Structure 1
Amino acid sequence: MDLTKYRQKLIGSEDERAVSPVIGVILMVAITVILAAVIAAFVLDIGDDMGDGPVNAAISTDTSQSDAAITFTLEDDGGAEEFVVRGDDIDSGEADLEFDDLTVGSSHSLYHSGSDGTGDADALSSSGGEANIVAIDGNSESVVGSVEWEF
């Protein structure tokens, strides 16, 4: 059985080949690199800790010199589950001061220690400082405001 005529139909001559061996090698290398990147992303768990995106809340702050107080007013909750105030000069007994009852339109005030006469736990421990207001939604945290004061 003579297979030379079938060889010409299956393989073709040097002039009839559609893809050169160099292009074939380049395509195989590119496919290998893409596969390695995809496998590395799954193995190293890249992209899983990105969170749900920023929380678009809005809080306004007002500093009152006469009362030695800072008032936070929630303008838009942006879907946040909770709000906390973080700062070195916040005397809450915790690392963060949480606003559990803050709803849209409501306010919460912090006073300089003893200036409100109650000595409550939500107080400013010094007459000057700064703090950030952070909106938290699941694993996502966004700084939605900051305040500096000097009484």
Structure 2
Amino acid sequence: MKLKTLFEDDGAVSPVIGVILMVAITVILAAVIGTFVLGLGDQVSEASPNSQFGFGYGTAEGGSDYVNITHDGGEGVNTDQISVQIGGTLAWNGTSEYTEYKTGGDNDFVNAGGTNGWDKEKITAGDSLDIQENGADMTDGDSVKVIWNAPGSDKTAVIGESEVSL
């Protein structure tokens, strides 16, 4: 038996393994680069703030119902990232609709207290917002939601929720 002829063909295994490794490395690099180019890496780390809100309800002198929303603790939240919905209707938005909300305008809700503790860049513990009905009625069982909007994306999260109880 010639042992030399049995082991002469072992050179072909090395190029095949090399090609497989090169393809695997190329695929992994393409996936990593694609993730950062498309900005998916930034969205993964974007988490909603851990904030707590308290809700109080009542009736104003004119007979209109109102809700008082107070930031009770946790992380501060940028005002331009927050909106409030009452019964599915936008009642307050920290960006474009703030002026209309504060002056009444055509909006269904107005500023109940004349002052607005959310009238600054960042909402922190103790800040409160009073919203009074103007065209829409708040009724028992309506949902009041404080909604956080992620900057630079369409991601939203409900960070405070209550049910109207008059």
Q: Give the number of the structure whose residues are more often helix, by fraction.
A: 2
What is the alpha-carbon distance in structure 2 between the residues aligned to residue 69 and residue 59 of structure 1? 16
User: Which runs of structure 2 are paired with 1:1-150 in the superposition (5 Å)?
Assistant: 14=8, 20-50=14-44, 52-64=46-58, 68-76=65-73, 78-82=75-79, 83-87=82-86, 88=89, 90=91, 92=101, 93=105, 99-100=118-119, 103-113=124-134, 125-128=136-139, 129-135=142-148, 139=152, 142-149=157-164
- Contact 1:132/1:145 (8 A) holds in 2: yes
Query: TM-score when scaled to structure 2?
Result: 0.54
Aligned to 1:7: none
Give secondary structure in 2 for the equivalent of 1:35: helix
When residues 45 and 84 of structure 1 are mapped into structure 2, their CA distance, relative to the original with a 3 A threshold, is: closer
How far is 1:126 from its partner?
Answer: 0.9
Larger Rg: 1
Aligned to 2:96: none
How many residues get paired?
127
- Contact 2:54/2:69 (8 A) holds in 1: yes
RMSD of aligned residue pairs (Cα, Å): 3.8
Query: TM-score when scaled to structure 1?
Result: 0.58
Q: What percent identity do the matched residue pairs reach? A: 31
| Unpaired runs of at least 5, structure 2 | 1-6, 93-100, 111-115
